[in-house]
Structure formats: C-alpha cells, structure tokens
Amino acid sequence: MKMITAVIRPERIQQVKEALFQAGISGITLSRVSGHGGEQVVVEHYRGTRVMVEFHDKVEIRMAVSEPFVQAAIDAVLRGARTGEVGDGKIFVQPLERVVRIRTGEQDTAALTPVTETKLTPDGSL
C-alpha cells in the first residue's frame, strides 16, 4: 500500500477528480494549501538585493491505494493536472503501513476496497 500525495493547481481539481474516478480511485482527501515550489524572485533594493519566497494557493490530494492502483493513480493525476507550465505541482509516493476502516475494523487492502451502496427501487425490487 502507498499514500500518494499530489499538490496541484486549484483550477485543475475537476479534471484530476474525473481522471481519478475513471481509474477506479475513489477514496480521496482534499485540502487547500499554500505552497512554494523552490523558485526564487530576487528583488533589487537601494541597499542590496532580497530574495522573496512567494507562496501560491494549491490543492493537496491524498489517496491511500493498494499496490495495483499506484501507477494508475499517478497517471490519472498527470493526465488531469498537467498544463506544461511551471507550477503544475508534484506527486509524492510514500509507503503506507496500515489502514483500518473504523466502521468494520477491516484492515489494509480490505479497508481500502470501496463499499458499493445498493439502493432499492420504490417497489422494493433491485
């Protein structure tokens, strides 16, 4: 299992979500974050120069996935998030030791398998 963290442009979130759902990845945590990619802006002052470290609004997506979904998740983020301009973001992949679904106590890969809700039709048939 891996924890995949992707930092992307906020304006690409819809495309990334669609690409992830198409790849069968549905457990996702989204956060608005403030990020800096390492680029530096040097500002000239009358008493010398100063390095400005600017932060930009980004969205962080976190997904815990089982091994067969790792490459599909990375490919989906690349497909949805890439514009080709600097600042498209980064993907981090970390080993994930344990996952527990709180409702059932299921562990690891079983805890990552999404639950499919079955809805009854009004007449009670499936």
80 binds ligand ATP per the rule CB under 6 A: no
Site for ligand ATP in 39-58 (CB under 6 A): 39, 56, 58
Q: Which residue is nearest to Mg ion (CB)?
A: 37
Q: How many residues does the chain have?
A: 126
35 binds, among ligand ATP, Mg ion, none (CB under 5 to 8 A by kind): ligand ATP
Question: If contact means CB under 5 to 8 A according to the sort of partner, which of Mg ion, ligand ATP, none does residue 58 touch?
Answer: ligand ATP
Residues 9-38, mask of contacts with Mg ion (x by CB under 5 A): ----------------------------x-
Alpha carbon of residue 73 to chain centroid: 9
CB 92 within 8 Å of CB 33: no
75 binding partner (options ligand ATP, Mg ion, none; Cβ < 5 to 8 Å by kind): none
**111: amino acid identity, one letter:** A
Helices (H), 52-120: 70-81, 108-112
| Count of Cβ atoms closer than 10 Å to residue 77 Cβ | 26
Q: Which residues bind Mg ion (CB under 5 A)?
A: 37, 39, 86-87
